[in-house]
Amino acid sequence: AQSVTQLGSHVSVSEGALVLLRCNYSSSVPPYLFWYVQYPNQGLQLLLKYTSAATLVKGINGFEAEFKKSETSFHLTKPSAHMSDAAEYFCAVSRPRGAAGNKLTFGGGTRVLVKP
């Protein structure tokens, strides 16, 4: 079984400050890991993914995440927050594609508020 824990359901940052969203996972097999962003009443947009290549993954909109196997973590960062980063962020885990396909297990989500 796989699971994801996102520490902090809400994060408030000032515009221009560092954004750090924490994600820890549990998986019995080497995982694929994802970060998604969701704006109100919209679907999910992929920010970045880890699929067993480079451990430091760069995504869209200036976000990046580092896979740390020893810590079972995949924290998301952005050096400088922008007002448009205010949204809900989800960390997700899946198995490498097999019979189950890309079935995702999501964390609880972290809502980011950006203060001017």
Partner 1 sequence: GAVVSQHPSWVICKSGTSVKIECRSLDFQATTMFWYRQFPKQSLMLMATSNEGSKATYEQGVEKDKFLINHASLTLSTLTVTSAHPEDSSFYICSADAVALNTEAFFGQGTRLTVV
Q: How far is the CB of 62 from partner 1 (least distance, A)?
A: 20
Rounded distance, CA 94 to CA 86, Å?
Answer: 26
Closer CB to partner 1, residue 38 or residue 72?
A: 38
Q: How far is the CB of 82 from partner 1 (least distance, A)?
A: 23
Quote the strand ranges of the chain, DSSP E: 3-7, 10-14, 19-26, 32-38, 44-50, 56-58, 64-68, 73-78, 87-94, 105-106, 110-115
Closer CB to partner 1, residue 14 or residue 61?
A: 61
Q: Which residues bind partner 1 (CB under 8 A)?
A: 32, 34, 36, 41-46, 49, 51, 90, 94, 97, 100-109
